[in-house]
Amino acid sequence: MVGKQTQKTKRKPTKRKATKRKPTKRKRRKPTRTSMLPKLIGTALVVGALVVLGTYAYFSRDLPSVSALRDYKPQQTTRVYDRHKKVIGEIFSERRTVIPMSKVPRHMVLSVLAAEDADFYEHEGLDYNGILRAVGRDIVAGRAAQGGSTITQQVVKLMLLTPERTLSRKVRELILARRLENELSKNEILHLYLNHVNFGRGRYGIQEAARYYFAKDAGDLTLAESAMLAGVPQAPTRLSPRRNPEAAKRRQAYVLSQLQAKREVYWPDLSEAAITAARKEKVELAPLPEGSGKAPEVLSIARQALRAAVGDEALGEGGYEVHTTIDLSLQKQAREALQRGLRAVDERQGYKGPFRRTRRRGAPKATKSATSLRMGRTYIARVTGVDDENESIRIDVAGHPAVLPMRDAARYNPDGRRASAFTKKGDLLPVSITQMGGEEDPAVARMERGPEGAVVVIEPRSRHVLALVGSFAAVSGFNRATQAIRQPGSAFKPLVYARAIQSRRFTAASLVVDAPAVYEEWKPRNYEQWNYQGAVRLRQALARSINMVAIRVVEDIGVHDVAEFARQDGIATKLAEDMALALGASGVKPIELTNAYATFAAGGRWAPTRIVSKIVAPDGTRVQLARGEPARDVMTPSEAYVMTSMLRSVVTEGTGSPAQRLERAVVGKTGTSNEARDAWFVGFSPSVVAGVWVGFDDSRPLGRRETGTRTALPIWIDVMDAADTTPKETDFAMPSGVTRALVDPASGLLAYEGQEDAFEEVFLTGTAPVEVARPPDVADPNLFLMEQYEEEGGSESTETAPPPREERVLGGMAPP
């Protein structure tokens, strides 16, 4: 059909029949080791990093700050010096003297690097190869046994951590080592190491090591010496040159070989010739330094002065120099003199071995049981056993076990017998405690069979103490020179007579009656009880140490007056103000009485004694010392001279006559307390004052015939012989205000013309007698008038008659 749009019919799509295909199996490739490795490595790295970070975070907790090491202030050694800059002793917790790197020689630095850490200036605090080697060996050993530490790690271990060998401590050490390298320079770290490390025998730091082993400063060490010291810190005890010299030499050889092997790479400036010479050099150790036993009394005083000046904290830090007035050589001689004198007493009185076994009344008995022991007291101990192998004696002290080392009984064992021959079980021994015991450890004792003593030597003008000895043995403890309070006996009389002279009521020529008297039921008497001499001049009374004259003088001028004078003259110990003061019945300290005599030698001026002269801080500045009492004039120079002149008679004609063998101008006074419990001699020359005391700590009598003359004076003579180095012809200078006059020895009046037995006496100006003694062939007009009066019947009344001669002289000077 034309024009007709035809429509195409749509054909239905025919569905094709789907054919099912069998799925084909794909073959999986088997993983190879090569393909797995990157993943394993990646995983391991991630896990490792997490472990490291976790470990770092865990062990970084509560770590000390390394920045604190910038302000390095370790405990250092404080040294105490004598007046000549000789070391008396040391005060320390650790013996250490910090020095800057500029004072450490380069060959010492190289020796340390060769011995400990050649790569120190190359690594950043950790030697990883060394760590791996150490870990491998620790695994083989099954414990933390291998070191492998750099110098930086050692500084951390020494100064920031504990020395324990554990894995946790090692990890902390590694962390801190890296931090320290970021905080300080290499030289600063090496400075810490060289000043802090242990070089054996209690010496810390290179300066102390150099002083101890070679008696020189670190800057003066040779290469051979440096190499030996550099090897010590690895094992300070085993490699100490003093304890194990052969091991120290082997270690030195190793250090020198390391210096040689690594020279070209690390330190080419060190020549082979220097190393070869060091190998050939014979290294000799210095003699062992003397310990602090030379003057423990002075060390104790130095410590007290330092504590008072800087406080406990600074005292603990140390590093100070304490300079003293002590002459160390004289100190030694003074102690030796005391020891000779005390041994002489031991010999005379039989003070050897244990107490004799006896049932006599008054025999020693063991001290009763006490809840505790204390130092500074003498006990009577019972022997419970002996130990020859350990050279000791087992004892029971007031119910407490103790040990007595035989070395501490050597004074009473001159033959050197063994413990079993020296004593037996059940014997009694007088002892003191030197070390308190613990729950399981017994106390340690020292035998105290014989008396003790003290010596004080003073330069009078400066009041510098030249020697101070407080015991027979040079041991710390009770210092009798400054702490013992003992009766001075007649050694106190010069203070009585000095006040009498000062009062102008007496002169050296005044007559005072020596006769018995009673004072409120107290009946004093002379040492020679059978001998009373009637009217005696004051000079004679002092020379012969007549008690009754001293008592009458005190009665006249007043007890309080004498006590006050003594206080002004430096006697700080409280004095009992009674008549017995005239005889030295009130206790004083040896240093007090010796310094009181120094007032006479110094022209009447008192000043406190000085032992510590200056203290220098670690930074070189001078520490301000506490000011003592100001000096004061106790007497005029003329009064002091008259007193000195009177004391001269003690030596020339009295109880101190053995001192004449010094053949120089010396004066002094003996002293013996009741029952010879104390023996003294105190005296001086124009340049030195010395005092000696001897006695038992428990105030037992010294023994038959022991006196100040016999017991103390020989010690004083030996001390003065060593102490006074001035020309022997040096004499006491007479000041103005003193006059001389010839005196009649019987009356104390001016001598008559031509009197043969007249002697020259010294007087304060204006106190000399004006009346002249009558020659023996001239009658006394008073007696003539009395006879005439009696003949005229006036004998029944004598009120107008002059009193007897002896009554007229009791109160003081002979009348003009």
pLDDT digit string (tens) for 575-588?
999 999 999 999 99
What was the pLDDT predicted at 816? Answer: 29
User: Which two tokens mark 363?
Assistant: 């025999």
Q: What is the DSSP string of 755-806?
A: -TT-EEEEEETT-S--SBPPPTTS--HHHHHHHHHHHTTGGG--TTSPPPHH
What is the token pair recorded at 165? Answer: 């060998």
* Cβ neighbours for 686, distance < 8 A, ≥ 6 positions apart: 601, 665, 726, 730, 731, 732, 733
Residue among 765, 758, 757 nearest 740 (CA): 765
pLDDT at residue 139 in the model: 58
The parts of the chain modelled with pLDDT lower than 50 are: 1-10, 145-146, 784-786, 788-789, 794-816
- Predicted pLDDT at 803: 36
CB 459 within 8 A of CB 560: no
Q: What's the pTM value of the predicted model, to 2 decimals?
A: 0.80
From 185, 184, 172, 189, select the one nearest 112 (Cα to Cα).
189
Asked if residue 694 lies in contact with residue 345, where contact means CB atoms within 8 angstroms, the answer is yes
Name the nearest CA neighbour of 764 among 748, 797, 741.
741
pLDDT in tens, 423-447: 999 999 999 998 888 877 899 999 9
Q: Residue ranges of the alpha helices (H) in 60-197?
A: 106-116, 128-141, 151-159, 167-183, 186-196
> Rounded CA gap, 366 and 380, in Å?
5
Active-site residue, from 471, 490, 545, 645? 490
CB 328 within 8 A of CB 84: yes
Q: 3-state class of 432 per DSSP?
A: strand
**pLDDT at position 674, please?**
92
The answer to whether the CB of 326 falls within 8 A of the CB of 507 is no
Per-residue pLDDT, 56: 56
Hey, which bits of 448-602 come out as E strands?
A: 452-459, 464-469, 511-514, 534-537
Q: For residue 700, with 0-12 CB atoms within 10 Å meaning exposed, 13-18 middle and 19 or more buried, which class applies?
A: middle
CA distances to 117, 203, 413 from 228, rounded to whole Å, are: 16, 15, 43
Confidence (pLDDT) at 576: 95
The pLDDT value recorded for residue 18 is 52
Residue 457: strand pairing partners: 467, 690
Helices vs. strands in the chain: H and E counts, helices first = 25, 23
Torsion sign over Cα 223, 225, 226, 230: positive
pLDDT given at position 336: 97
490 is catalytic: yes
Q: What is the pLDDT of residue 291?
A: 56
The Cα 649–Cα 582 span in angstroms is 19
Q: Which of 590, 597, 337 is nearest to 472 (CA)?
A: 337
Q: Is 116 a catalytic residue?
A: yes
Instruction: Fill in the amino acid letter for 459.
Output: E
Return the ∠ at Cα 368 (arms to 365 and 369), rounded to 5°: 145
pLDDT, tens digit, for every residue of 62-107?
677 777 788 888 889 999 999 999 999 999 888 899 999 999 999 9
* Residue 21 DSSP class: P
Distance set, CA 259 to CA 101, 186, 218 (Å): 20, 20, 19
Residue 810: predicted pLDDT: 44
Cα separations (Å) of 290 from 34, 204, 447, 469, 477?
Answer: 74, 18, 24, 18, 19
